[in-house]
Amino acid sequence: MTNTTYLSPGVRQLLLSVSSTSNYKENNHLSIDDIRQCLCVEEMGINYQESIRRLDMTILPQIEHYFDQMTIEQFRSYYDNDYYCGWLKNRKDLFRIFNLLKNNEIHLATLLLTCLTERNLGNLLLIQINTVPNLLRQIIESSTLCSILGSDLTLLFQLLIGSPKSINLRNVYWHGFIQYNEISSKFTYLLLYLILQIGPIVNEKVIPERQFISYERYKNHNFLPLDICCPNADTAIDIIKKSSLVDNGYKPLLISSINYFYNENEYGLSMMLLLPVFEHLLRKLFVNANHCPERLLTAESTTLFTTLDEV
């Protein structure tokens, strides 16, 4: 937990309301219906705070324990088949996510998992419609998704990655509001568990596939000025450690990004870590230049996010 937070009070209360200790009790039975029963759905919609409180009593610790006690080999042996993963068009990423979780790289695992979720839930809609909505929120709230997955599972996705009133896991991570190890990994484990429940539901269906954007034509382009001097990894890390602009809660993310870039040649993972922090740093400069410090925090559901496109 960092000393400085960029979560506004309402968002912070929601995201940090889960306990840091596990009150798990041995219980081998767990189903979507069990999880759904914890949701508090009122006339105006989901009561997010109460739903999280109920989930944290038994369900979240149970799911966390289930994955914690499973080795990487056991996870792959059990789930690497068409019954659970046949609907996923980038199955290898699912196992990379679990590897990251087992290595306590919760931040990167969450970034990658929310990407995988958005892409593949969008593909599901193509079973019944021809065009996928642009926004994840529109995908999650669509009647099409509900008709494919059922109302219980759809409501759980709405809790995790739905409107700005929800846990909103994808947006708070990808827009750079979450610092290193700031919030519980229980939300990530729950999202992983929900993704693994979809395969059996759509097992007999043919899932259309959208083509990924190709950057092949840019492969041999040099976008950097000829006289630019790129620092080596040690120099870049030293600059970050000494930076007064970068909060301590973001420095581990940038250092990890540099390691993936220079030492692992994992440019995609490096960019996943770098982009949200880049947006956060630009937002800090933006609010300082425009004298609006309140916009440095996450937006409440009734106000506007200050995001990269606006900056």
* Buried/exposed 270-293: b ≥16 CB within 10 Å, e otherwise: bebbbbbbebbbbbbebbeeeeee
Instruction: Give yes or no: residues 58 and 161 share one domain.
Output: yes
pLDDT score recorded for residue 170:
96
Report the Cα 51 to chain-centroid distance in Å. Answer: 19
Sign of CA dihedral 134, 137, 138, 144: positive
Alpha helices (H) in 126-250, listed in sequence order = 136-140, 143-149, 151-161, 169-174, 186-196, 198-201, 233-242
Instruction: Give yes or no: residues 170 and 234 share one domain.
Output: no
Instruction: Give yes or no: residues 43 and 184 share one domain.
Output: yes
Report the Cα 212 to chain-centroid distance in Å. Answer: 20
Instruction: Give yes or no: residues 13 and 148 share one domain.
Output: yes
- Nearest one of 120, 166, 169 to 145, comparing CA atoms: 120
Whether 136 is in a domain gets the answer yes
Structure tokens at 252: 């581990």
C-alpha span between 228 and 311 (Å, rounded): 25
Instruction: Give yes or no: residues 234 and 197 share one domain.
Output: no
DSSP 3-state assignment of 126?
coil
- Cβ neighbours of residue 53 under 8 Å, at least 6 residues apart? 17
**Domain finish residue from 132, 167, 202:** 202
C-alpha span between 115 and 175 (Å, rounded): 13
CB 306 within 8 A of CB 278: no
* Buried/exposed 126-151: b ≥16 CB within 10 Å, e otherwise: bbeeeebbeebbebbbbebbbebbee
pTM, entire model: 0.92
Whether 126 is in a domain gets the answer yes
CB 168 within 8 A of CB 161: yes
Number of domains in the chain: 2
Instruction: Give yes or no: residues 157 and 72 share one domain.
Output: yes
Instruction: Give yes or no: residues 70 and 195 share one domain.
Output: yes
> What's the distance, Cα to Cα, between the start and end of the chain in Å?
27
pLDDT score recorded for residue 303:
56
Structure tokens at 68: 């914690």
C-alpha span between 232 and 73 (Å, rounded): 35
CB 287 within 8 A of CB 279: no
- Cβ neighbours of residue 57 under 8 Å, at least 6 residues apart? 23, 38
Boundaries of domain holding 48: 9-202
Burial of 191 (0-12, 13-18, 19+ CB in 10 A): buried
Instruction: Give yes or no: residues 43 and 183 share one domain.
Output: yes
- Nearest one of 50, 240, 287 to 159, comparing CA atoms: 50
Whether 30 is in a domain gets the answer yes
- DSSP letter at 78 equals H
pLDDT score recorded for residue 1:
39
311 residues of the chain, pLDDT tens digit each: 344 899 988 889 999 988 776 666 665 578 899 999 999 999 888 999 999 999 999 899 999 999 999 999 999 999 999 999 999 988 999 999 999 999 999 999 999 999 999 999 999 999 999 999 999 999 999 999 999 999 999 999 999 999 888 999 999 999 999 999 999 999 999 999 999 999 999 998 999 988 888 877 777 766 666 666 677 899 999 999 999 999 999 999 999 999 999 999 999 999 999 999 999 999 999 988 888 887 788 766 555 567 666 66
pLDDT score recorded for residue 2:
42
Structure tokens at 195: 């993704």
Instruction: Give yes or no: residues 81 and 142 share one domain.
Output: yes
Instruction: Give yes or no: residues 171 and 51 share one domain.
Output: yes
Whether 113 is in a domain gets the answer yes
